[in-house]
Amino acid sequence: MLFLSLIFLSQFLSLLAAPMPLAGPAVLVQAKRAAVSNLRLPDALPAPPAIKRRHLDERRSRAMTAVSSTRAPSAATATSCPAPGTAPVNAAAGGETAEKININGTFGQAVALQGGDIQTDVLYPPSAIGSLEIEFKNRDGRTLNVRENKTPAPPPTGFVALEPSSFIVNLAGGTQGLTLQKVDYIFNVANPAVVAANIAQAQVGKLSADGCQFVIDTALGELEFEAEENELSLTVADMNGEWGIFVSQAAVASQAAAEETPGEEVNVNGTFETAIAVPGGNVKTDILFPESTRLTVFLTPQAAGALEVEYNGTNANAITVTQNANPASPPAGFLFVDRTTFQVATDTATNPATDIVKVDYIYSEQVKRLVDVNQGVIGKLDPATNTFITSGLGEFEVELDENEWTLTVEDLNGEWAILIPQAALLG
């Protein structure tokens, strides 16, 4: 074993001295990243009749200002301050009441809504797809509580969930006779998942009384799409219930056809430790992560390759990948190609019957010089034994023309390692 190690060390040192070609995954990765840069937003939609509200960032700024103005009262007035959750009041000059109150809400926390027929907009924390907003106006105040459901019921037939979560709205005191009540959703159009859907045709659905499926019906209320604000707005007679944001499968397909050359996919530049939204409607999305320079056999940083996650699912989802720089040991007889392993988590589970998901790795030219890439494998950590397994995970392919290892799996969730048998080292 010592003799073999000396041979390998000699080979690696000689490779360090050799000039490295500038081709390989860097070129392939650059090509994929170039494809990402060519993504464009949908063509401009018809302008709305009038600008109804501020943009999302302006609203958040206003809401934060309003909230902060109520959080530092003097000792003399401390007892007159509203209790936690009470809506801050925006006063106009001269003591006149403002026309609208903006509040940043928190899922699962009650918010007191002011009466006096002053409109109150409660904006909730964004997902990668967008943000929920509740609008309220009434003579008498109410208390609002909205909970996020990350495992909602199925979408209506012919639709996909554009936002993976649903939202359970509870307005204490009832909704009958309110002056105004709306369920809104503000889309993040910088997200490729939103680009891949025709959001002008999006719908707001409500969970059926039996809790089995969401329903989309004109009887729920008047639906508007405010193109200037990328906002879906449903005026309702009863905001209480569970709400979801959907788009028809046909709308997703038509928008994908308009944005992409047939047979191509949506390419996304991924960031580690960041939730990345992916569209439903079986639009293939490739998420390419930054190149790793943790090639196992080099003492100095050298390019190992780049992780890529593929998602082609019926429903929208969000994927988060975290790097692990100190993983468990590789299986006996194997070496890590990349000393970093990758922990993948999806917001909702995928369905092997309808979804195609893959873990890919684009290996570098340095890797090709060191090993027989035909013997590369992608392994998954078994939490019970804290060891990486390399069999029974799915269909594995080596795409030599793309410098890529690809593993089709049933479940993306877990920790993945890029491995090579010791016997595959080139001598």
Lowest mean pLDDT among 74-78, 247-251, 303-307, 407-411: 74-78
* 193 and 326 housed in the same domain: no
Contacts of 343 (CB under 8 A, 6+ apart): 321, 322, 323, 324, 414, 415, 416
Q: In this structure, what token pair is assigned to residue 104?
A: 């940043």
Q: What is the mean pLDDT of residues 393-422?
A: 95
Residue 399 within any structural domain of the chain = yes
What is the reported pLDDT for 362?
94
* 235 and 321 housed in the same domain: no
The enclosing domain of 220 has a CATH number of 2.60.220
Q: What is the mean pLDDT of residues 57-64?
A: 43
pLDDT tens profile 34-45: 444 443 333 333
- Whether the Cβ atoms of residue 187 and residue 194 lie closer than 8 Å to each other: yes
Element housing 123 (H / E): strand 119-123
Q: How confident is the model at residue 198 (pLDDT cuts 50, 70, 90)?
A: confident
* 226 and 297 housed in the same domain: no
* 110 and 235 housed in the same domain: yes
Query: Is the full-model pTM beyond 0.75?
Result: no
pLDDT tens profile 254-276: 555 555 444 457 888 888 988 88
Residue 260 within any structural domain of the chain = no
* 349 and 321 housed in the same domain: yes
What string of DSSP letters covers 158-172? TEEESSSSEEEEEEE
Element housing 7 (H / E): helix 2-17
pLDDT tens profile 339-388: 999 999 998 899 999 999 999 999 998 899 889 999 999 999 999 999 99
Between the CA of residue 188 and those of 192, 375, 418, what are the distances in Å?
Answer: 9, 42, 34
What string of DSSP letters covers 234-252? EEES---EEEEEEEEHHHH
What string of DSSP letters covers 29-74? HHHHHHHHHT--PPPPPPPPSS--S--HHHHHHHHHHHHHTTSS--
Q: What is the mean pLDDT of residues 91-100?
A: 52
Lowest mean pLDDT among 45-59, 81-95, 170-184, 372-386: 45-59
What is the reported pLDDT for 18?
42
What is the reported pLDDT for 282?
85
Domain termination site, one of 252, 273, 288: 252
* 105 and 219 housed in the same domain: yes
Residue 258 within any structural domain of the chain = no
- Measured distance CA(117)–CA(151) in Å, rounded: 35
* Residue whose token pair is 């990328």: 230
Q: What is the mean pLDDT of residues 155-183?
A: 92
Burial 401-418 (b: 16+ CB within 10 A, else e): eebbbbbbbeebebbbbb
* 175 and 239 housed in the same domain: yes
Domain that holds residue 280: 7-38+265-424
DSSP tag of 262: T
pLDDT tens profile 43-60: 333 333 333 333 344 444
Residue 410 within any structural domain of the chain = yes
Q: How confident is the model at residue 180 (pLDDT cuts 50, 70, 90)?
A: very high
Residue 51 within any structural domain of the chain = no
DSSP tag of 355: -
Residue 50 within any structural domain of the chain = no
* 17 and 88 housed in the same domain: no
- Measured distance CA(10)–CA(20) in Å, rounded: 17
Nearest to 356 by CA among 318, 306, 394: 394
Q: What is the mean pLDDT of residues 66-74?
A: 33
Number of domains in the chain: 2
Q: Pairing between strand 266-269 and 285-288?
A: parallel
Amino acid at 269: N
- Measured distance CA(76)–CA(79) in Å, rounded: 8
Domain termination site, one of 252, 287, 313: 252
Q: In this structure, what token pair is assigned to residue 73?
A: 């009262």
pLDDT tens profile 106-126: 999 999 999 999 999 999 999
- Measured distance CA(152)–CA(207) in Å, rounded: 9
* 13 and 63 housed in the same domain: no
Does pLDDT of 410 surpass 80?
Answer: yes
Q: In this structure, what token pair is assigned to residue 374?
A: 């035909």
* 271 and 416 housed in the same domain: yes
Q: In this structure, what token pair is assigned to residue 125?
A: 């924390």
Lowest mean pLDDT among 82-91, 200-209, 263-272: 82-91
Q: Pairing between strand 180-187 and 130-137?
A: antiparallel
Between the CA of residue 31 and those of 234, 269, 303, what are the distances in Å?
Answer: 42, 12, 17
Reduced to 3 states (helix: H, G, I; strand: E, B; else coil), residue 228 is: helix
Residue 105 within any structural domain of the chain = yes
Q: What is the percentage of the chain residues whose pLDDT exceeds 70?
A: 71
Does pLDDT of 426 surpass 60?
Answer: yes
What is the reported pLDDT for 30?
52
Element housing 285 (H / E): strand 285-288
* 275 and 230 housed in the same domain: no
Sign of the four-CA dihedral 12, 16, 21, 24 = positive
Domain termination site, one of 220, 252, 284: 252
* 123 and 32 housed in the same domain: no
Does pLDDT of 15 surpass 50?
Answer: no
Higher pLDDT, 253 or 249: 249
Residue 375 within any structural domain of the chain = yes
- Whether the Cβ atoms of residue 360 and residue 406 lie closer than 8 Å to each other: yes
